[in-house]
Amino acid sequence: MIAPDIPREETARLIALRDLQLLDSDADKGFDRLTELATQIFDVPMSMITLIDEDRQWFKSRQGLKVCETPRRISFCGHVVADGQPMVVNNALRDPRFSDNPLVTGSPFIRFYAGFPLFVAPDVCVGTLCLIGTLPRAFEDTDMDRLKLLAAQAEELIQLHVLRAQARLREAPVAPVDDAG
């Protein structure tokens, strides 16, 4: 197994990720509908919107997977975040980066993976929209075009989350300052 590289601008990436205030947040119907749609469009048993922090891959939304996070060092999505490029693994058992990965040799028995990076700014990739299958499969250019469109929608949902959080902060009552001190 080959662990994902650490992105060159990791510190700035992690600051941007924290500023989103999405990590460990409650479920969101918009994100969940998007991953549900992805599983249907691509006929895969699992799809996720992932966020990659220092040590883990956390799932903002997930379909077909019970766990809410996995270690970053074994994540497929960590490779996408490190490269900032889409990645397709047609057969994980035959890919030297993943053939002995515990997510391949054990549950959920990943055989197929397609992930598209999610950016919050140019060169600031915080996670992925990914598809996972338990059988090897091909992924055509038209499939990648569809995944790209869904990933763009995930990025828009992330930006909408940020705008809503900023609006809540503006609307929150300001505590009076005690100058008697």
Q: Give the pLDDT confidence of 63-104 residue by residue, as tens digits.
A: 999 999 999 999 999 999 999 999 999 999 999 999 999 999
pLDDT-derived band at 163 (thresholds 50, 70, 90) equals confident
Q: In this model, does residue 40 exceed pLDDT 80?
A: yes
The phi and psi torsions of 15 (rounded to 5 degrees) equal -65, -45
Assigned token pair, 19: 């500023």
Query: What number is the average pLDDT over the span 117-126?
Result: 94
Hey, what amino acid is at 34?
L
Query: What is the model's pLDDT at position 80?
Result: 98
| DSSP H stretches of helix in 22-140 | 29-42, 77-83, 102-105
Query: What is the model's pLDDT at position 177?
Result: 66
Q: What is the spatial distance between Cα 103 and Cα 114, in angstroms, rounded to a whole number?
A: 15
* CATH number corresponding to 10-165: 3.30.450.40
Hey, what amino acid is at 113?
Y
pLDDT-derived band at 175 (thresholds 50, 70, 90) equals low
Query: What number is the average pLDDT over the span 11-20?
Result: 93
pTM score, two decimals? 0.90
